[in-house]
């Protein structure tokens, strides 16, 4: 652990530790070059038993991944502003995000014997889907691989931030091989089966969808779903969301069950597809439609209902334009 007051790169003064895990530590720091700016610095550990050639290769991979993260620019992601190596330790510098994480918010709701409302959880879900859709559709797709309530911050303005890139995985363009130094195994309740073990080359966007689905399940039920390894042996250990919280809608429960399917092929193929399922609406005749389809139908109905006024407004504008041209 770095001591308070430690200065890195002649620029960042460590204020206090704010998190620690198997892959490293995260610190709150002051930017001495930009007065008043606070930042979060993630220190990534390298196994000291590694030989020098391996350490050099790991640091090269770290720089390559960090440079990709630094190019990400999305309102629901903290901006990576710097990365460097000092004394055989790699550091990633990001915006510091104030506010409570969603794990704290869940714990508070459970202590008060209440559930978070589906409306507020879906508002957060929409923002998270936007961030992941952006990451997954980069020229070099980026997976997060550790989505969980404690890695999601709710800012005072109501904006959601997916804050920890600690297990980020960069997909190679040619095949499913990866370069990943910031790698870890995730947290069991939110980790799909394919992400376990040393060979996790089969992880892709559907792995993030599993973690997001498990996170939303926890937010809506006040408890995480049964772990994937446990469900593999006993599928019945997964309790339906509506059993725990009857206020969860049937459409949302179906979307969550699909998202945390054991086999990746049974999950939505993309975050966009999961978002459509999550915001699926049921029509009067019992059929379903996505939120996008519902919005287009509503717009069409508004146009049909107000067609006369639209025509009159258009005619008035045309007469006005002709009168102006004839002066």
Enumerate the β-bridge partners of residue 170: 142, 179
> For the chain, what percent of residues have pLDDT higher than 70?
82
Q: Which residues are catalytic?
A: 146
What CATH number labels 100-279?
1.10.510.10
pLDDT at 198: 57
> In whole numbers, what is the pLDDT of the chain averaged over residues?
84
Q: Is 33 exposed, middle or buried (0-12, 13-18, 19+ CB in 10 A)?
A: exposed
User: Which of the four pLDDT bands, split at 50, 70 and 90, describes residue 304?
Assistant: low
pLDDT at 314: 74
Say if residues 128 and 43 touch (Cβ distance below 8 Å): no
Degrees to nearest 5, angle at CA 17 with 183 and 45: 30
Looking only at the bridges linking them, the beta strands covering 24-31 and 12-21 are antiparallel
* Residues 259, 65, 186, 171, CA torsion sign: positive
Nearest to 256 by CA among 288, 216, 228: 216
Whole-model pTM: value is 0.79
Distance of alpha carbon 117 from the chain centroid: 20
Domain limits, the chain: 7-95, 100-279, 296-326
pLDDT at 199 over 60: no
DSSP notation for 157-208: TS-EEE---TT-EEEPSSSS-EE-SS-----GGG--GGGSSS--TT--HHHH
| Pair of tokens at residue 251 | 């459409």
For domain 7-95, the question of CATH label 3.30.200.20 is answered with: yes
pLDDT at 169: 58
């Amino acid at each position: 652990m770095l001591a308070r007051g430690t200065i890195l790169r002649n620029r960042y003064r460590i204020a206090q530790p704010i998190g620690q895990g198997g892959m490293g530590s995260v610190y709150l720091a002051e930017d001495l070059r930009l007065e008043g700016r606070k930042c979060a610095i993630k220190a990534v550990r390298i196994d000291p038993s590694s030989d020098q050639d391996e350490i050099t290769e790991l640091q090269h991979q770290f720089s390559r991944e960090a440079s990709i993260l630094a190019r990400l620019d999305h309102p629901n992601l903290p901006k990576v502003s710097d990365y460097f190596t000092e004394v055989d330790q790699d550091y990633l510098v990001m915006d510091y995000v104030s506010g409570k994480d969603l794990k704290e918010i869940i714990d508070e709701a459970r202590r008060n014997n209440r559930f978070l409302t589906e409306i507020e959880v879906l508002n957060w879900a929409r923002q998270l889907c936007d961030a992941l859709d952006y990451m997954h559709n980069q020229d070099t797709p980026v997976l997060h691989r550790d989505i969980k309530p404690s890695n999601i911050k709710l800012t005072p303005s109501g904006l959601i931030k997916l804050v920890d890139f600690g297990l980020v995985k960069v997909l190679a363009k040619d095949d499913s091989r990866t370069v990943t130094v910031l790698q870890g195994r995730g947290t069991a309740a939110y980790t799909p089966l394919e992400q376990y073990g040393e060979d996790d080359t089969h992880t892709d966007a559907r792995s993030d969808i599993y973690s997001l689905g498990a996170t939303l399940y926890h937010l809506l039920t006040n408890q995480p779903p049964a772990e994937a390894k446990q469900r593999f042996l006993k599928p019945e250990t997964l309790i339906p969301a509506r059993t725990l919280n009857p206020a969860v809608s049937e459409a949302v429960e179906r979307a969550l069950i699909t998202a945390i399917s054991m086999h990746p092929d049974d999950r939505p193929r993309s975050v966009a597809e999961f978002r459509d399922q999550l915001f699926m609406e049921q029509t009067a005749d019992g059929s379903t439609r996505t939120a996008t389809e519902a919005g287009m139908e509503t717009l069409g109905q508004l146009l049909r209902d107000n067609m006369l006024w639209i025509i009159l407004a258009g005619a008035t504008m045309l007469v006005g334009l002709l009168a102006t041209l004839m002066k």
